[in-house]
Chains A and B, each alone.
Chain A
Amino acid sequence: MLKPLRNFLAAICESRAGRISLAVFCACALIALLGPLIAPYDPMARNYDAAGKLVRLAPPSAQHWLGTTTLGRDILSQMLWGARSAMIVGLVTSIGVVLIGVNIGLLSGFLGGRVDALLMRITDIFLGVPFLPFIIVILSITGRSTWTIIFAMTILMWRSSARVIRAQVLSLKEMPFVAAARISGASDLAILYREIAPNVMPIALLNVAIAMAWAIITEASIGFLGFGDPDALSWGTIIYQAYASQTMYRAPWWVIPPGVAIMVLVSSVYFIGRAYERVVNPRLATA
């Protein structure tokens, strides 16, 4: 399990773009980890100035680096807390998605026949489900919480990984090393998980990156539409609060930071994915 991860990191570090984006990503991860500790204020506290007046919609200043909201909350502190929720949503969803996608893809490609046909029909049905509207419907029925959002995204996003992995398995299972394993008496399960699975790891890791980027953007979209977890602070809900307060066009310091943060984090994930893809698919690298 550790070896593919080490190869993954080594592959990314081969290019300069890869190294830079990895550094950016790690910085975001660090902020997610330490954010609540280094946040200068309680993100939900209303701040008052020396005269006891609420610091309402204040532009960036020495006290509040990114200004405050209409309720006098410190935006920088909200941003730091939001990093944590973006990271958790991204990581948990992408790992869940790839675990389901890889297993369905492996089984479908390897077993073939009726199992394959059934699993692929199910995948097709899931591909027809409108992504964001479906999540909104689920949230409207079950109530709004971060874990429901993660769950809803996971059960819809595995569909594309499953297809890609299946295609890969179809060609891998005809390889000589699979026949060799079979001759030496390996069981189907052993062939599938010991011989074939490690070979789909590169594609699976690439899918982790794509799923993570999508999960972060989707969670922000849900937050923006007003269906985010009311108790969680995410970059999407910060934008939503600015939007709902109808003051966002007077207070650009409120809406610009969360959008830029999402853009930086998600781009770093995309660039990591691309740096890795060049190694997985050398035809791109030679060009």
Chain B
Amino acid sequence: MGRFIAVRSLHMAITLFAMVTLMFFMFRLLPGDPTMTTISPALYPKAQAAMKAQFGLDRPLFEQYLLYLANVARLDFGLSFVTSRSVAEVMQGRLVNTVVLILPSMILAYALGVLIGAMLAWRRGGRMEVGIVFLATALQAAPVFWLGMMAIFVFSITLDLFPVGHIVTPGRFPDPTWRMYFTTDFLHHLVLPFAVHTAYQLCFPLLLMRSSMLSTMHDDFIELARMKGLTERRILFHHAMRNSLLPVATTIPMILGWAVAGSVVIETVFSWPGLGRLMVESVEASDFPVVQASFFLIALLTVLGTFVADLMYGMLDPRIVYR
């Protein structure tokens, strides 16, 4: 187990390293000069050179790269091009905002998806099953940002039940503080994005659990459990569902990655001040230090999610040996 964690941590570090390297070279080797947004070409050449030296841009590329790596390792992403504040200051609270929306929503989506999927397979047949399977597929096929817009249209604009966006009423908390997350105002703003995201994300585990259950239910050990005279409930929860869970569980890291990366769209629709929205805004403003930092944090969340999910398999399936 200890060895497994060590090896996986190494893999994680390699992945992050590769991504950071890719980011560095992409911004420098591809056409277009991102420095132009701060260092105006209208300045005297001498002034331009002085500014480049100040940012370390006059040194050889490889030296710049090493400097950059050292800074990333210390989580120092420099100054924002737009606000000239430190990136850390700009990013403050964004990570928490994303996690607070995505993580509970994913946990609920998987729990509900697995339960409903198992029930559908257990009580096979009938209009109910066809209807739910159809609905889940259609929901999964819709773009999540569009579902968000429809939800805002119905519940915020027409019925006036929930705010149209933002994490709290604008102006209520001028400075980010943890107290914000413990207000009813925050919960009121959370309901709509949370519900839309959960409804969208629960389709995949639901459909997968259903088909996994359908194949498990024909296994011999289910027949044996029946012959032993166990109650249906016990067979369902202790035998059928447990054995059907593994294929569903294996998808968690992938889907978690998609969800974190996909937070970009859901946060944009609901004006949710998370990492994804920050990234989109920074790209629009050509604020590359902030783009790099938010991209790095999104990647970190993705990779960490994979790591945790890998560890969880062992708990679900004792046949897995950690190597």
Binding site for B on A (CB under 8 A): 121, 124-125, 127-134, 136-138, 140-142, 160, 213, 217, 220-221, 224-227, 236, 239, 243, 248-249, 252, 255-256, 258-259, 262-267, 269-271, 274, 283-284, 286-287
Contact = CB atoms under 8 A, between A and B. Distances in A.
A137 B295 contact: yes
B262 A132 contact: yes
B295 A134 contact: yes
B59 interface: no
6 contacts: A128-B15, A128-B302, A129-B302, A132-B262, A262-B142, A263-B138
Contacts of A121: 11, 14
B19 A125 contact: yes
B264 to A, nearest CB: 5
Interface stretch (B60-68, B210-218, B221-229, B312-320): B210-218
Contact of A140 (B31, B141, B283): B283
Contacts of A267: 137-138, 141
B214 A133 contact: no
B141 A125 contact: no
A153 to B, nearest CB: 13
Given A124-B15, A128-B19, A137-B291, 10 more contacts: A133-B264, A136-B279, A141-B26, A221-B264, A226-B284, A227-B283, A263-B138, A283-B218, A287-B124, A287-B215
B99 interface: no
B284 to A, nearest CB: 7
B30 A141 contact: yes
B56 interface: no
Contacts of A227: 283
Interface in B277-310: 279-280, 283-284, 286, 291, 294-295, 298-299, 302-303, 306
A224 B276 contact: no
Nearest to B28: A141
Contact of A133 (B140, B261, B306): B261
A201 to B, nearest CB: 21
B14 A125 contact: yes
Contacts of B19: 125, 128-129
A283 B215 contact: yes
B153 A225 contact: no
Nearest to A142: B30
Interface stretch (B80-88, B110-118, B191-199, B252-260): B252-260
A101 to B, nearest CB: 15
B73 to A, nearest CB: 18
B153 A125 contact: no
Contacts of B150: 255-256, 259
- Interface class of chain A by DSSP: helix
B157 interface: yes
B146 A137 contact: no
B18 interface: yes
B276 A133 contact: yes
Interface string B230-259: 000000000000000000000000100110
Nearest to B15: A128
A59 to B, nearest CB: 15
Given A130-B295, A160-B254, A225-B268, A124 B11 contact: yes
Nearest to A248: B149
B27 interface: yes
A220 B26 CA distance: 25
B102 to A, nearest CB: 12
Contact of A217 (B143, B268, B303): B143
Given A128-B16, A137-B283, A140-B291, A243 B138 contact: no
B174 interface: no
Given A133-B295, A266-B141, A127 B306 contact: yes
Contact of A127 (B142, B152, B257): B257
A252 B158 CA distance: 12
B170 interface: no
B280 A225 contact: yes
A147 to B, nearest CB: 15
Nearest to B18: A125
B272 interface: no
B270 interface: no
A2 to B, nearest CB: 29
A197 to B, nearest CB: 25
Given A128-B19, A136-B283, A225-B268, A287 B214 contact: yes
A125 B15 contact: yes
Contacts of A274: 137
Contacts of B126: none
B265 interface: yes
Given A137-B291, A270-B137, A255 B146 contact: yes
Contacts of B147: 259
Contact of A259 (B11, B34, B143): B143
Contacts of A258: 146
Rank and list the top 6 A-B pairs by shortest CB-CB distance, nearest first. A266-B141, A130-B261, A259-B146, A287-B214, A267-B141, A128-B15
Nearest to A21: B137
Contacts of B262: 131-132, 221
B77 interface: no
A213 B141 contact: yes
A213 B157 CA distance: 31
Given A133-B261, A213-B141, A287-B217, A142 B31 contact: yes
B26 A130 contact: no
